[in-house]
Structure 1
Amino acid sequence: MLKRKNILFAGLSIFAVIVLIIGFLVIKWAFNNLDPLRKAQQAVSIAVQMKDLNEKELEKYNPKSQRAVDVKHYLINLDLYPEQEKIIGDVTISLKINDKQSDRFEINLYDNFEIREIQINGEHAEYEQTGKVLTVLKKNKEFDSADVRIKYEGTPKSLGFGSFKFVEVDGHLQTYTLSEPIFASTWFPCIDLPDDKALLDIYVTNDSSNISLSNGKLLDVKSNKTRRTYHWKTFYPIATYLIAVYSGNYKTFSEKYRSVSGDSLNIAYYALPKNIDDAKKDFSGHSSYIKVFEELFGPYPFIKEKYSVAEFWWQGGAMENQTLTGIGSNFISGLRLSTDVLIHELSHHWWGDAVTPKTWKDIWLNEGFATYSVALYWEKQAGFSALQSTMMTRSLIPDGTLYNPGNALFSGLIYNKGAWVLHMLRKEVGDDIFFKILKEYFLKYKYGNASTDDFKNLCEKISKKNLNQFFNQWVYKGEGIIEIEADWKQIQSNNLEIRIKQLQKGYDIYKFPIDIKLIYDKQDDFNVSTVYVSSKDTVINIQSKKKPSKVIFDPDKWLLKRIILINHN
């Protein structure tokens, strides 16, 4: 058999080899462009659950009274019993009280758990449960802070993208969480708001055959005969949706990185035994990714902790848990086909984890930034043409507004259009100003939260430009993309008349600059003019040396558009 295979291989035609190469490129394109990052598109059940993201449901889930407190710290003790699909939790939430008049704490926790005990500052407390909100009643209104301790047990609901899962892989039980956007309370009590960030200590206990992972730095591991407890601690605030637990029979490897700050960073990788060899090929190299992002955005923001990538048994893509990026098992191939996914998730540690959106209406500040960061990485590695080609793979844009997208939180609207808005903003303000904006935005809002208004105001402050029109048409109000019909004709030997007619329905009149390239007899004989379009039907005259052989609109692909050319020779 082996001999026959060799003969067959030797007889492969050049055509067959070409087919194989094309097939590989198609697979690579699919990995990079089917967009495993569009987390909410994997199943109808997820779309149904995302109905909870409408404003009315969010008001129920996050009542205004939650603003009466500010969470400072979570102490989570979590005992995992995968064979029974059960957890036993003991969580202490340390709160600063902003409104002493309130007689209650309203905490998110799904009502399928058995509550064993609740205490406030060590004393028994009464409570009421309504759906996903646990109301803990206060006896004393005088204190400025409180430790609310909740002991509970049960089987977590698995909602959203699989907020808490026990799965069996090759005869071994694995546990993972994925809490984005509002499903952290399916497994631990919390105030599940993206802008109520807190410090975290988490103790995860499982069978001693498992490694248990979480956010931050590993401080301690304690074992008895059959159980093992891992203590992880964060030194930087974390949003609840980024808190994660993975537990399984992991194999591990690592590399070191020297940050621009001079500090050493441990980069740890975890994969299941059957995938460890492929993971070593796919995961390695994060040092080079971090180096590029430190140059573009600023120092890695969690230097006191770690960066890590761990396999988890989710088929939908990857997740940027703070310092613990998870990547689905089916994205590990040994062929480095998921590089863009890994770069995207790493960039979230600047955009999403360090700078977290104030509300889910601002989610494009996460996903649009991370998507454009991938393009910036490839530009840094391979030049402007790599940036262009990466952006062109992101040109499919669903309808809807970028700000406050409703249920379309994880659609191509947020990822692709968000990236294009940054790309066009870069053209609008110029490279020097644009990259200054990114660094200042990171520096100003690091370890906190930012809104779309915050970002817009910072852009205007640094660029010294009024960007109301830009943000209204691309972020707040406009839907879809620019659709234009372009026409040109020579009216004099050195004068060209350009007509640009806007056809789109998602926004009446876009106002934008567009480059127009006139090519003469040879490709290297050309000139480029920038014109400003400000009406539904714009006619502009531009100078030309002679009649051009070709006119190219937006030659460097800075504009999110669809164009119909009507050419008069």
Structure 2
Amino acid sequence: MRQFLFLFFSFFSFALIAKDPYPKNPNIDILNYKFQLNLNDTTDVIYGSAQITLNIKESESRVRLDLVSQNQLGKGMKVHRVTFNGDEVAYTHEDNVLLIETGGLGYTSSDNIGVEYSGDPITGLIIGPNMHGDRTFFSDNWPNKARNWLPLVDHPYDKSTAEFIVEAPNHYQVISNGLLVEETNLNRNIKKTHWKQSVPISCWLYALGVAEFAIDYVDYFDGKSIQTWVYKQDRDKGFYDFKIPTKHTLEFFSDYIGPFAYEKLANVQSNSVKGGMESATAIFYSDVSVTGDRSVRWRNVVIHEVAHQWFGNCVTEFDWDDVWLSEGFATYFTLMFREHAYGRDDFVNGLNDAKNLVYNHYKTDKESSIVHDNLKDMKDVLTYSLQYQKGAWVLHMLRNYIGEDDFREGIRKYYKRYYNSNTTTEEFKKEMEVVSGVDLDLFFDQWLYNGGNIILDGGWSYDKKKKRVEVTLDQVQDDGYIFKMPLELGIYYEDKNLFKLETVKLEKEKGRFYIATETKPKNIKIDPFTKLLAIWDFNEIK
């Protein structure tokens, strides 16, 4: 009976958090993928074999994998053979789904499915010339494109370890997740390279880069190698650019959040992404990221992608509805590192840049929330101004709302609890509530689950007889939302040694506040220390 109740509540809990429409199956757990790929210089057809170690509950009679089918143009993947524990089994491969019949075969705690296939990838693995005209192969799996070249469960909820064994012409070097296990010249023409990722990750984080690289073993952090992989033509510029700030970021995030989860960290020049891609242990950057001048823009991209190794990679959203747990966190912790390394002004400039992006988007979209409501179309998974920039602001406001000490402790406990696992917005909220003792229902509801933004209109005047300032602050946003948040007012005087900080509570459409002061202020500023996501028109009333 106890076992029944456990299973009942496990399935009930799973159903509660299984929001996006992907057919998640708690009865099947992928433990490890071993992909063997043959690449060549004459065609874009890849020849693949996948050995998939998994655990299947007895109630299941088939295993579902994602793999894009061949289209009318002959692009896509064709399955040649499927085995279960070494024996051939029946399967169907239609509409980008590979269904493998396993009923009645008898399961153990660790079974093996083998898939042999080949094809010309539609996307997901980008094959073609780089900026220098050299042939390259680079993965581009975000958010659900790995299925274009790999048979797998193409969703972040099922994390597993993985191996890539690549046979390719021997003029290439191969980079992937984890640690290099083997590199062997099989003959004059073909080289075998084997990478093994021993820490479980979601499949969008699988990385494969095959090119003529220059490789720099830059340094070590906590005994783990920091590497740079750039095109051979960009050796000098790339080695210079990527020398910093990776180690410094690893030190900061490990100290503030918790331990770095992975075996190495490589920065890789690639032609499959436009900005950066946080692939675990092997971060991909655009061709044009290598400039030789350590530009601030690309410096900040490096910081962002390293931050993802903690949030998005190690602690991963269970569902695409909660993608801000990756992007909002990486964006805010980039700003936190910038404050740590480059000063408060750089941090505030980053917050203000984010605010401008949020409100520019808000002009044409007032209803969209950061957390999706049962995301239906993956093309809508990310809006830069919402999940990245507004998501970062939500964390900044939360940090100020509950206090620095509780925020840091909450982040550390959240990271420790969901280390190498999956989580949700609600689980993050619970961790922060336990640490702070603050009920965060309203905070999360108004900032994450609903749309709208704060726009204030008001002014201040001084009553000499009553020796007080009267402040009017109206919420004039026309989106139907009224926010309840604390707001700081900075009161400045002719005497520069005098300063007063008052906190008022926004909670109604119209607000009026009185602040005692012996002398008339020279000026009153809203949010002088940049803690609230809001814009305003506020001046002295004369």
Normalising by the residue count of structure 1, what TM-score does the alignment of the two structures yield?
Answer: 0.85
Contact 1:197 1:448 in 2 (8 A): yes
Is the counterpart of residue 246 in structure 1 residue 209 in structure 2?
Answer: yes
- What is the aligned partner in structure 2 of residue 88 from structure 1? 47
The more displaced of 319-328 and 532-541 is 532-541
Correspondence 1:142-541 to 2 at 5 A: 142-144=106-108, 145-158=110-123, 163-169=124-130, 170-223=132-185, 224-259=187-222, 264-285=223-244, 286-302=246-262, 305-314=263-272, 316-337=274-295, 338-395=298-355, 396-397=357-358, 398=361, 399=365, 400-404=368-372, 406=375, 407-477=380-450, 479-491=451-463, 492-506=465-479, 508-541=481-514
Give the Cα–Cα distance (whole angstroms) in 2 for the partners of residues 507 and 219 of structure 1: 58
Shift of 1:81: 2.1
Give 3-state SS (helix, strand or coil) of 2:50's partner: strand
Give the Cα–Cα distance (whole angstroms) in 2 for the partners of residues 57 and 183 of structure 1: 20
Aligned positions, number: 500
Give 3-state SS (helix, strand or coil) of 2:250's partner: helix
Give the Cα–Cα distance (whole angstroms) in 2 for the partners of residues 221 and 138 of structure 1: 35
Shift of 1:471: 0.2
Q: For residues 120-153 of structure 1, give each alpha carbon's deviation from its aligned partner in whole angstroms, at most 9, with x where no partner exists.
A: 1111111112212111112425313421110000
Q: For residues 464-516 of structure 1, give each alpha carbon's deviation from its aligned partner in whole angstroms, at most 9, with x where no partner exists.
A: 00011100000012x24211112212234521111111112345210001110
Give 3-state SS (helix, strand or coil) of 1:234's partner: strand
Give the Cα–Cα distance (whole angstroms) in 1 for the partners of residues 66 and 399 of structure 2: 40
Give the Cα–Cα distance (whole angstroms) in 2 for the partners of residues 466 and 58 of structure 1: 27
Identity of aligned residues (%): 27
Contact 2:20 2:320 in 1 (8 A): no
Task: Assess, with a 3 A threshold, how the Cα gap between structure 1 residues 317 and 82 changes in structure 2: closer, same or farther.
Answer: farther
Contact 1:378 1:387 in 2 (8 A): yes
- What is the aligned partner in structure 2 of residue 29 from structure 1? none
Give the Cα–Cα distance (whole angstroms) in 2 for the partners of residues 146 and 293 of structure 1: 38
Give the Cα–Cα distance (whole angstroms) in 2 for the partners of residues 315 and 126 of structure 1: 37
Give the Cα–Cα distance (whole angstroms) in 2 for the partners of residues 549 and 487 of structure 1: 13
Contact 1:83 1:173 in 2 (8 A): no
Give the Cα–Cα distance (whole angstroms) in 1 for the partners of residues 436 and 18 of structure 2: 37
The more displaced of 217-226 and 130-139 is 130-139
Give 3-state SS (helix, strand or coil) of 2:26's partner: helix
Give the Cα–Cα distance (whole angstroms) in 2 for the partners of residues 227 and 524 of structure 1: 74
Give the Cα–Cα distance (whole angstroms) in 1 for the partners of residues 497 and 381 of structure 2: 44
Contact 1:493 1:546 in 2 (8 A): no
Contact 1:517 1:551 in 2 (8 A): yes
Give 3-state SS (helix, strand or coil) of 2:413's partner: helix
Is the counterpart of residue 547 in structure 1 residue 520 in structure 2?
Answer: yes
Give the Cα–Cα distance (whole angstroms) in 1 for the partners of residues 401 and 447 of structure 2: 13
Give the Cα–Cα distance (whole angstroms) in 1 for the partners of residues 119 and 340 of structure 2: 49
Give 3-state SS (helix, strand or coil) of 1:393's partner: helix
Contact 1:102 1:141 in 2 (8 A): no
Contact 2:278 2:305 in 1 (8 A): yes
Task: Assess, with a 3 A threshold, how the Cα gap between structure 1 residues 279 and 225 changes in structure 2: closer, same or farther.
Answer: same
Give the Cα–Cα distance (whole angstroms) in 1 for the partners of residues 540 and 270 of structure 2: 53
Shift of 1:525: 2.3
Task: Assess, with a 3 A threshold, how the Cα gap between structure 1 residues 176 and 467 changes in structure 2: closer, same or farther.
Answer: same
Contact 2:320 2:381 in 1 (8 A): no
Q: For residues 137-175 of structure 1, give each alpha carbon's deviation from its aligned partner in whole angstroms, at most 9, with x where no partner exists.
A: 1242531342111000010111xxxx2111113342100
Contact 2:331 2:389 in 1 (8 A): yes
Contact 1:473 1:507 in 2 (8 A): no
Runs of 5+ unmatched residues, structure 1: 1-54
Give the Cα–Cα distance (whole angstroms) in 1 for the partners of residues 19 and 397 of structure 2: 34
Whichever residue aligns with residue 128 of structure 2, its letter is: V
Whichever residue aligns with residue 249 of structure 1, its letter is: E
- What is the aligned partner in structure 1 of residue 99 from structure 2? 135
Give 3-state SS (helix, strand or coil) of 2:311's partner: coil
Give 3-state SS (helix, strand or coil) of 1:424's partner: helix
Shift of 1:56: 13
Give the Cα–Cα distance (whole angstroms) in 2 for the partners of residues 173 and 410 of structure 1: 32
Whichever residue aligns with residue 306 of structure 1, its letter is: K
Shift of 1:538: 1.3
Shift of 1:382: 3.2
Give the Cα–Cα distance (whole angstroms) in 1 for the partners of residues 206 and 248 of structure 2: 26
Whichever residue aligns with residue 140 of structure 1, its letter is: G
Whichever residue aligns with residue 500 of structure 2, its letter is: N
Shift of 1:248: 0.2
Give the Cα–Cα distance (whole angstroms) in 1 for the partners of residues 325 and 384 of structure 2: 14
Q: For residues 419-462 of structure 1, give each alpha carbon's deviation from its aligned partner in whole angstroms, at most 9, with x where no partner exists.
A: 00000001101111111111111111110011011101111111
Contact 1:519 1:551 in 2 (8 A): yes
Whichever residue aligns with residue 165 of structure 1, its letter is: I
Contact 1:82 1:166 in 2 (8 A): no
Q: For residues 339-377 of structure 1, give each alpha carbon's deviation from its aligned partner in whole angstroms, at most 9, with x where no partner exists.
A: 000000001000111101111111101011111111101
Give 3-state SS (helix, strand or coil) of 1:150's partner: strand
The more displaced of 289-298 and 419-428 is 289-298
- What is the aligned partner in structure 2 of residue 125 from structure 1? 89
- What is the aligned partner in structure 2 of residue 5 from structure 1? none
Task: Assess, with a 3 A threshold, how the Cα gap between structure 1 residues 507 and 241 changes in structure 2: closer, same or farther.
Answer: farther
Normalising by the residue count of structure 2, what TM-score does the alignment of the two structures yield?
Answer: 0.89
